[in-house]
Structure 1
Amino acid sequence: MRLLTYNFLQCPKTKTFPLILEPTQVETIETEYNKEFILRMIPRLDWNLVRQVSRQFAFGELPQVAPKESTEDEETFRLLHKMLLETHIKEGVLKSQDGTIYPIKDGIPNMLITQVNDE
């Protein structure tokens, strides 16, 4: 699961966002740099969550406000590309605020809610 995907996941049970990410295996898979894609994605991202994940994964501090134009700091766009598109969570868990746990296995988050019938 790319960190970009993480920014869009919410708990299917409670509809709460964001989930708490606890990775146990992280992998970097290099991809061709695409500044225009990053620029188009920025308005769709929860910028506070992006900044939090940047600190959690030791990418460094991002600006308080999301960049809006391609003329802004190139280093920020490259950092966002590396973080959002090249960083993959292979194993770990996502936790909702109510304690529901969603496992990540082989890079795929299992967001299905298993209900137990008490009959």
Structure 2
Amino acid sequence: MKLLTHNMLTSHVKGVTKGYPLIIKATEVKVSELEFNAQFVSRMIPKLEWSALIQAAEWVEVIEGCLQCPESGREFPISKGVPNMLLNDGE
């Protein structure tokens, strides 16, 4: 899961009013160096929540682990870098 992806995810569990930012709990991380892409960055800047991005940058890119809703504690698994944000019936 990339940090920019994390910045745009929120918990939609029933009754949750503060489901952002999700807490990153990583069991495996990967640090990747990428070429700077000015066009991509200029399109993303208006969409970012900076405080959440800075916090996530401290946690780095997650390969395996989970995201945790700060209000309900519900965990969303991350496998091979892809977060599963699907809810169960009744959530």
**Equivalent residue runs for 1:15-54 within 5 Å:** 16-54=19-57
For residue 7 of structure 1, report the CA deviation from its aligned partner.
Answer: 0.1
Cα distance in 2, alignment partners of residues 53 and 104 from structure 1 = 15
Q: Which has the larger radius of gyration?
A: 1
User: What TM-score comes out, normalization by structure 2 length?
Assistant: 0.79
For residue 45 of structure 1, report the CA deviation from its aligned partner.
Answer: 0.3
Output the amino acid matched with 2:12.
P
For residue 5 of structure 1, report the CA deviation from its aligned partner.
Answer: 0.1
**Helix, strand or coil at the partner of 1:18:** coil
Cα distance in 2, alignment partners of residues 31 and 53 from structure 1 = 17
Alignment of 1:115 onto 2:89 = yes
User: What TM-score comes out, normalization by structure 1 length?
Assistant: 0.63
Output the amino acid matched with 1:93.
C
Indicate if the aligned counterparts of 2:67 and 2:77 stay in contact, CA closer than 8 A: yes
Output the amino acid matched with 2:81.
G
Alignment of 1:101 onto 2:75 = yes
For residue 31 of structure 1, report the CA deviation from its aligned partner.
Answer: 3.4
Output the amino acid matched with 2:24.
L
Output the amino acid matched with 1:90.
I
For residue 28 of structure 1, report the CA deviation from its aligned partner.
Answer: 2.9
Indicate if the aligned counterparts of 2:6 and 2:56 stay in contact, CA closer than 8 A: no
Cα distance in 2, alignment partners of residues 3 and 53 from structure 1 = 6
What percent of counterpart residues are identical?
Answer: 38
Number of positions where the alignment pairs a residue of Structure 1 with one of Structure 2: 86
Cα distance in 1, alignment partners of residues 77 and 26 from structure 2 = 10
